[in-house]
Amino acid sequence: MKLNYKRVLLVGMAFFLISAFWQAYDSIIPLILTNHFGLPQSASGAIMSIDNVLAVFMLPIFGALSDKVNTRFGKRTPFIFFGTIAAVIAFICLSLIDNVQLARVIAADIPNLASADDFIQKTTLELTLKNPLPLVGFIATLLVALIAMATFRSPAVALMPDVTVKPLRSKANAVINLTGTAGGILVLALGIVFATSKNHYMQYTGYFLAVTAIMLVGFIIFLLCVKENKWADEMKAESERLGLEETAEAEAQGGKLSSAQLRSLMLILASVALWFIGYNSITSKYSVYATNILGFDFNLTLIIAQAAAIVSYIPVGIIASKLGRKKTILTGVIILATAFGLGNFVTSSTPEFIMFPIFILAGIGWATINVNSFPMVVELAKSGNVGKYTGYYYTASMSAQIVAPILSGFLYDLLGMRYVFFAFGTLFVALSFITMLFVRHGDAKPVKAKSTLENLDVD
């Protein structure tokens, strides 16, 4: 039994395009809302949480719905096809609407005001309130893009367990996350090329077009290379040959979870929620924090974090297969909390390169957590409801990401972004260690290798 890395990599193209979208979304949308429309951090945070509000009910619905779909293209592929096309069109339209608002800001000579930043933001907000139609149009179009993304996120992620036997899912999830991170890094590199952190009042149309081009590359590779039905049938045959369907935890008691298993599922989902609150509070506003508070280039720092994650994914998957997913996750939580804790001591007078090792640690910690948390949830699922359990996972993570930008944004406005930003993230990541400590189920049941070579995953 060994992982087909090429197959998982191709399946990961769906996650590649998803990650490219969200990296651009997290980096640029807060800047547009804050600098072009003049919204305060709390209002910007509320808008940034719309995707998570939608995801709380849409991801479980579409995950479960895709479990029941049966087409010649597969269960998940139709959702990926239509969702991607709609998201790409809406994403491009966002930049065109932003251009209308930006033209108004420039015509009012706001970029050339010599006043303090808070006065400039207030002036921009006043301009927006005089004619809110561009803001209304921007939010409405953003809503279309977010709904489109929500229709295929769970189906895309559920495809990995569909084609991978249970003991190999941590390794497979490492490859999926590596592929997704590559999409994020490409978008961050585009941010450097387009100098998105250098100009508060730039037009983003060219940047958005480049991002959608990256998304479409992943989309086309996925459509041309992934044979969903064939690969899913092969996985089922392999699972039956190895006896995995009969021995999996979720198959016990007629497919229902025992009280102990249900308790572990709830604790895993609570842990997911807590570390996502901490992590998302950093990633969703780091572009604003780095640009407006520290005066740093956020693109390079985030690229370094993503690169650290890429280097970590495969080793972390292998380590988890030896030490167990729970122990590996707990180690990742410690690493991530330490990284965010160190970030509290970085100021605008600190050399910018000091942030690089901090985000390297954060990238390693997040990779260690992320590779293993989703497989722990779907380990408790049976083959017929993987999409449903994928929805559970995203309900927890997206609910957390509703709380993160709103609560953190409120505290930024109340106490100051400089003093709350990293402290908030550190606290919630640390809390997830406590809930994860009491999890008792979700580690993979190992299958004894028939030979040393098979154990090493080589021919």
Q: What does the pLDDT read at residue 362?
A: 94
Q: Over the chain, what is the mean pLDDT? A: 86
CA distances 185 to 22, 193, 245, 438, Å, are 11, 12, 37, 35
pLDDT higher than 70, residue 454:
no
Contact present, 29 and 48 (Cβ < 8 Å): yes
User: Is 339 inside a domain boundary?
Assistant: yes
Mean predicted confidence (pLDDT) in 426-452 = 79
Can you give the pTM of this predicted structure? Answer: 0.76
pLDDT higher than 90, residue 446:
no
pLDDT bracket for residue 165 (50, 70, 90): confident
Which residue range(s) make up the domain with 203?
5-444
| Residues 6+ positions from 316 with CB-CB distance below 8 Å | 174, 328, 332, 367, 368, 371, 372
User: Is 410 inside a domain boundary?
Assistant: yes
User: Rounded CA gap, 141 and 210, in Å?
Assistant: 19
Q: What does the pLDDT read at residue 444?
A: 66
Rg, the chain, Cα only: 22
Mean predicted confidence (pLDDT) in 126-143 = 93
| 395-423 per-position pLDDT tens digit | 898 888 788 878 888 888 888 888 899 99
pLDDT higher than 50, residue 133:
yes
pLDDT higher than 70, residue 166:
yes
Q: Residue 440's CB: how many other CB atoms inside 10 A?
A: 11
Lowest mean pLDDT among 314-318, 378-382, 423-427: 378-382
pLDDT bracket for residue 206 (50, 70, 90): very high
Q: What does the pLDDT read at residue 274?
A: 96
User: Is 60 inside a domain boundary?
Assistant: yes
pLDDT higher than 90, residue 278:
yes
pLDDT higher than 90, residue 223:
yes
pLDDT higher than 80, residue 238:
yes
User: Is 451 inside a domain boundary?
Assistant: no
User: Is 159 inside a domain boundary?
Assistant: yes
Mean predicted confidence (pLDDT) in 170-186 = 87
Residue linked to tokens 């990256």: 214
Helices 41-48 and 13-31, axial angle in degrees (round to 10): 160
pLDDT bracket for residue 426 (50, 70, 90): very high
Higher pLDDT, 300 or 66: 66
DSSP SS3 for 324: coil
Higher pLDDT, 283 or 448: 283
Which run of H or of E encompasses 62? helix 50-68
Structural domain total, the chain: 1
Mean predicted confidence (pLDDT) in 296-315 = 84
Q: What does the pLDDT read at residue 272?
A: 95
117: tokens are 């930043």
User: Is 450 inside a domain boundary?
Assistant: no
User: Rounded CA gap, 202 and 193, in Å?
Assistant: 13
| 80-99 per-position pLDDT tens digit | 999 999 999 999 999 999 99
User: Is 170 inside a domain boundary?
Assistant: yes
Q: What does the pLDDT read at residue 185?
A: 86
Q: Per residue in 293-326, is it b (16+ CB within 10 Å) or e — as a string?
A: bbebbbbbbbbbbbbbbbbbbbebbebbbeebbb
Q: What does the pLDDT read at residue 155?
A: 92
Mean predicted confidence (pLDDT) in 221-242 = 89
Q: What is the CATH number of the domain that holds 136?
A: 1.20.1250.20
Mean predicted confidence (pLDDT) in 235-250 = 67
User: Is 459 inside a domain boundary?
Assistant: no
Q: What does the pLDDT read at residue 244?
A: 66
| 17-62 per-position pLDDT tens digit | 999 999 999 889 988 998 889 888 778 878 887 887 888 889 889 9
pLDDT bracket for residue 249 (50, 70, 90): very low
